[in-house]
């Protein structure tokens, strides 16, 4: 199959930000990743370039016939044939990891047409399967990724141990090989000073708290990714149920914090939302983190009914559209950092222009 152009992805907004999922005023998206390897092959870190290529071809054949991944309509990307800018687009759309795009040789990425499912070949493990959906719906995501896993395993013999479970490159993934996560927007807890003790409490439950781009990324725009850490000795459904319970508590805490802001600190929250809108609507230079924080302020205002004239879909699109790679791609040329900031501000002004 020929390498798909990222231009095809840019034609449509990402599906996990379409604001159609349960509790999507707080839960941005739900995601599950599965790590898998093929029996009798070394892990990617120990494989020769020839073996890596052989794995790539074998998994690609299985992916092309996986109906749950898109079948004949699946999009395929060859990182080694893509520019660094185009590879960065994949990261900003949460289709590929930093590690995957950093060393592109003997790697391949399959993406279903709506970007809700994807498969990285030869990342840390030979297969990294991902499904992502809008809102809080971990069980639906599990059903979807389980179908993809079944399709792939019908054509591949996974590395599996009867006692340990699925064998993976990193020992912390051995067992189910599953990482389940929910991306939460928690400005209420941040503004009321509750976020630090909340994160400490989450960590004690053996859950991980990361930023928008996963491992190694910081919080940006008050977006927190909460995921399981344990994969050994527990079933997939037990892991999902335990994470589900914690996420429900966090959603309720965020709702309580927002209610408290409206009842006890109304003018400060109105000022926060208004300043966020003003910065986005009237700035001529915007850094990435500054724009993300302002989008967070505007989003909480829309979700709390304080800014009814703003289309939430436009706000959601900006969370992806203001990424440096997306801006560079739309410019059709190389931009300096200052030019990127200028273009980011221009995009925000245009997207948030009042309706006539």
pLDDT per position as a tens digit, 115-157:
999 999 999 999 999 999 999 999 999 999 999 999 999 999 9
Report the predicted TM-score, pTM, of the whole model to 2 decimal places.
0.93
Read off the pLDDT band of 44 (50, 70, 90).
very high
Read off the pLDDT band of 285 (50, 70, 90).
very high
Domains of the chain: 7-258 (3.30.590.10), 266-351 (no CATH)
204 phi and psi, to 5 degrees? -70, -20
How many CB atoms neighbour CB 96 within 10 A? 26
CA 9 from centre of chain: 15
DSSP H or E segment with residue 111: strand 108-111
pLDDT greater than 80 at residue 1: no
pLDDT given at position 167: 96
Instruction: Mention every residue, 6+ apart, whose C-beta is less than 8 A from residue 239.
Output: 176, 178, 180, 228, 230, 231
pLDDT per position as a tens digit, 155-212:
999 999 999 999 999 998 999 999 999 999 999 999 999 999 999 999 999 899 988 7
pLDDT per position as a tens digit, 57-113:
999 999 988 888 888 788 999 999 999 999 999 999 999 999 999 988 899 999 998
Coil vs helix vs strand at 6: coil
Q: Which residue has the tokens 């003790």?
A: 197
Instruction: Give me the torsion for CA of 140, 146, 149, 155, rounded to 10°.
Output: -130
């Amino acid at each position: 199959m020929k390498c798909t152009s990222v231009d095809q992805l840019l034609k449509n907004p990402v599906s996990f930000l379409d604001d159609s999922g349960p509790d999507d005023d707080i839960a941005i998206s739900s995601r599950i990743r599965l790590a898998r390897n093929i029996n009798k092959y070394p892990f990617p870190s120990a494989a020769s370039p020839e073996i890596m290529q052989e794995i790539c071809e074998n998994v690609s054949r299985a992916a092309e016939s996986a109906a749950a991944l898109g079948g004949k309509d699946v999009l395929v990307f060859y990182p080694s044939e893509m520019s660094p800018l185009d590879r960065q687009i994949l990261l900003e759309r949460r289709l590929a990891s930093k590690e995957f795009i950093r060393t592109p040789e003997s790697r391949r990425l399959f993406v279903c047409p709506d970007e809700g499912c994807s498969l990285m070949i030869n990342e840390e493990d030979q297969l990294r399967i991902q499904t992502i959906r809008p809102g809080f719906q971990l069980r639906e995501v599990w059903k979807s990724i389980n179908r993809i896993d079944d399709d792939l395993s019908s054509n591949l013999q996974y590395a599996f141990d009867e006692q340990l479970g699925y064998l993976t490159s990193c020992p912390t993934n051995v067992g189910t090989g599953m990482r389940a996560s929910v991306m939460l927007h928690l400005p209420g807890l941040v503004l009321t000073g509750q976020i630090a003790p909340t994160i400490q409490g989450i960590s004690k439950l053996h859950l991980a708290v990361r930023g928008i781009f996963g491992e190694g990324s910081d919080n940006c725009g008050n977006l927190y990714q909460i995921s399981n850490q344990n994969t050994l000795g527990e079933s997939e459904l037990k892991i999902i149920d335990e994470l589900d319970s914690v996420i429900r508590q966090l959603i309720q805490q965020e709702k309580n914090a927002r209610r408290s802001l409206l009842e006890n600190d109304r003018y400060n929250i109105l000022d926060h939302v208004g300043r966020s809108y003003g910065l986005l609507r009237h700035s001529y230079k915007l850094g990435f983190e500054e724009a993300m924080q302002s989008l967070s302020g505007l989003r909480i205002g829309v979700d709390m009914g304080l800014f009814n004239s703003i289309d939430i879909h436009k706000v959601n699109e900006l969370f992806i559209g203001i990424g440096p790679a997306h801006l560079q791609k739309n410019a059709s040329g190389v931009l300096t950092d200052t030019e990127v900031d200028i273009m980011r501000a221009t995009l925000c002004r245009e997207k948030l222009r009042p309706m006539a």
